[in-house]
């Protein structure tokens, strides 16, 4: 009796396979793709580091990029204090160097000259 019910339809054996494939598809689009996108964005940010950028390390240390090498970044964390970090240790860029120059020039233009 059990054998008769199990061999009754050919589509019954296909349903679990489709459910597993659907589960893998959902996992791919909900977990794997966003993680790959974040990793790609982090690699682009780390490769685009330039002198003058203000950055935050994964440890929470703020600093200004004073030197860039192939694998390392030299940060000035206080006046006259420089530390060397691996590029992947940079979590995010707070302010780009070009943006700092734009802000400084805008502030200089906005300030009235007192004589």
* pLDDT, tens digit (0-9, with 9 covering 90-100), for 36-68: 999 999 899 988 888 989 999 999 999 999 999
41/64 same-domain check: no
From 26, 47, 68, the end of a domain falls on 47
Distance (Å, whole) CA 73 – CA 81? 14
User: How many degrees, rounded to 5, is the angle at CA 52 between CA 101 and CA 93?
Assistant: 100
> What secondary structure does DSSP assign to 83-107, as a single string?
EEEEGGGEEEEEE-HHHHHHHHHHH
42 within 8 A of 48, measured Cβ to Cβ:
no
Which tokens go with 83? Answer: 């530390």
40/84 same-domain check: no
Per-residue pLDDT tens over the stretch 69-92: 989 999 999 999 999 999 999 999
């Amino acid at each position: 009796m059990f054998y008769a019910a199990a061999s009754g339809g050919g589509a019954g054996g296909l349903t679990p396979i489709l459910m597993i494939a659907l589960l893998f598809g959902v996992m791919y689009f909900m977990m794997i793709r966003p993680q790959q996108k974040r990793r790609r964005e982090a690699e682009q940010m780390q490769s685009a580091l330039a002198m003058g950028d203000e950055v935050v390390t994964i440890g929470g240390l703020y600093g200004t990029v004073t030197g860039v090498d192939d694998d390392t970044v030299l940060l000035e964390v206080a006046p006259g204090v420089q530390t060397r970090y691996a590029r992947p240790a940079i979590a995010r860029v707070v302010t780009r160097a070009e943006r700092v120059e734009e802000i400084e020039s805008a502030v200089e233009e906005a300030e009235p000259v007192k004589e």
